[in-house]
Structure 1
Amino acid sequence: MTHAYQEIYLSNAQAALGDAFDYAIRVCGVPGENFIKLFTVSSVSKHMENGEPAYLAGKSGIELAAQILAETTGMTEQPEQPERYARSCEYWIGWAVAYYQWYSGRKYSEIFEVLSFAELEKMYYTLHEADVSKFAGIADARIREHFAETNLKRIRTAYGCSQAELAKKSGVGLRSIQLYEQRQKDINKASAESLYKISKVLGCAMEDLLEK
């Protein structure tokens, strides 16, 4: 599996997002579900998804939270962070989700579309002492089930193109397209030429066709 960015930044990214969730929710009083929405529409989530070191390791969690709140709500006042002696549930949620985003390469908006703040709170009580890979496995299964359609099928359908039409216009075999959409053939292993031909017909980037 291709990860979102280099592993050397992972622990810093987890700690920063954990602190951001803890600070915004527990100190600033933003409800958890609301903060998830603010985070996913902010530029911070995009910078982290893109693996930008300035956001993965160059900013503290409080700085990330402050930028998110300033961008999305106009809130510029920054309450002082009280001393913390243990990881909170909110910290764990940000910390664990940051790990899964790195692990899967998925967008934060996709992750939180499937896993609500309330669900993540419930997971905390059974998983916060387990290795984070266990959380990642559970989250991955849930998200793959939710996004059952392959990217190829989703994009093709949105474009209004049948499998037969796509095969004819792209020159890629109809059977191959069917197998890619049924996940019986791994599109991630398709030739660059085939991906290019399909993406050109559908007006998307080659990377958009790949499965995370």
Structure 2
Amino acid sequence: MTRAYREIYLNKAQAALGDAFDYAVNACGIPGGDFVKLFITSTISRRMENGEPSVLAGKSGIELASDVMLETTGKSLDAEPAEKLGRSREYWIGWAVAYYQWYSARSYSEIFKALSFDELQRMYYTLHEADISKFADIADERIREHFKETNLKRIRRAYGCTQAALAEQSGSTLRSIQMYEQRRKDINKAGAETLYRIAKTLGCSMEDLIEK
């Protein structure tokens, strides 16, 4: 999987987004679902996705939340941070989603379309003490349920390539490409050479095409 930034920034990104959600909801009284909408509308979410060090490691969670609010509503946040007795439910949501965004390379907008703030709140009680990989597995399942298209179709469309052009340039048959995208053939069982040619044509890695 090709990721936007190196793993050394991941912990800081998780902590910052966790603190941003905690501050916005618990200190400023912004409903979680509303803050999600503001966050994914803002450039802050895209800058995090793109791995900008000034956002990932250069800002605190309070600064991120304030930037999101100022950019999207024109209003400033000046509430005092709530006293922390541990990681709040809202902190965990930001922390876990930041991990999954890095892990999956999907946009925050896509993730929050498949996983609402309310659903994430419910997941907290069973997952906040579990290994983060368990959350990633569940998020993958929700993503597959919400976005019916395969990785191959998603990447091909983002690349601006038709099925016919992909088939011709990768040396595959058009029928094979169609069947992979319709999940009538399992791309995970495709030969290494086939995967390599398709990935090379689309400018991605072979792992990007694999369905988890």
Tell me the TM-score normalised to structure 1 length: 0.81
Partners in 2 of 1:72 and 1:166 — Cα distance? 39
Q: Structure 1 residue 189 and structure 2 residue 191: aligned?
A: no
Task: Note the alpha carbon deviations across 1:170-210, whole angstroms, 9 max, x for none.
Answer: 975313322431362369934279625xxxxxxxxx55xx5
Distance 1:173 1:95, change over 3 A: same
SS at match of 1:109: helix
In the comparison of the two structures, how many residue pairs are matched? 200
Partners in 2 of 1:169 and 1:136 — Cα distance? 34
Q: How does 1:1-212 map to 2 (within 5 A)?
A: 1-150=1-150, 152-153=152-153, 167=167, 173-181=173-181, 182=183, 184-185=186-187, 189-191=195-197, 195=201, 206=203, 211=209
Counterpart amino acid of 2:42?
A: S
Distance 1:172 1:78, change over 3 A: same
Partners in 1 of 2:115 and 2:137 — Cα distance? 13
For residue 88 of structure 1, report the CA deviation from its aligned partner: 0.8
Taking every aligned residue pair, what percent have the same amino acid on both sides?
A: 62
Partners in 1 of 2:200 and 2:132 — Cα distance? 37
For the 8 Å contact 1:49–1:107, the answer to whether it is kept is yes
Partner of 1:203: none
Partners in 2 of 1:127 and 1:141 — Cα distance? 15
Counterpart amino acid of 1:66?
A: S
Partners in 2 of 1:193 and 1:82 — Cα distance? 48
Segment of structure 1 superposing worse, 66-75 or 76-85: 76-85
Distance 1:41 1:153, change over 3 A: same
For residue 147 of structure 1, report the CA deviation from its aligned partner: 1.5
Counterpart amino acid of 1:191?
A: R
Distance 1:65 1:191, change over 3 A: same
Structure 2, gaps ≥5 residues long: none
Distance 1:193 1:9, change over 3 A: closer
Structure 1, gaps ≥5 residues long: 197-205
Tell me the TM-score normalised to structure 2 length: 0.81
Distance 1:170 1:134, change over 3 A: closer
Counterpart amino acid of 2:132?
A: V
Counterpart amino acid of 2:115?
A: L
Counterpart amino acid of 1:17?
A: L
Partners in 2 of 1:70 and 1:40 — Cα distance? 14
Partners in 2 of 1:21 and 1:64 — Cα distance? 9
For the 8 Å contact 1:4–1:103, the answer to whether it is kept is no
Task: Note the alpha carbon deviations across 1:59-81, whole angstroms, 9 max, x for none.
Answer: 00000000000011111142121
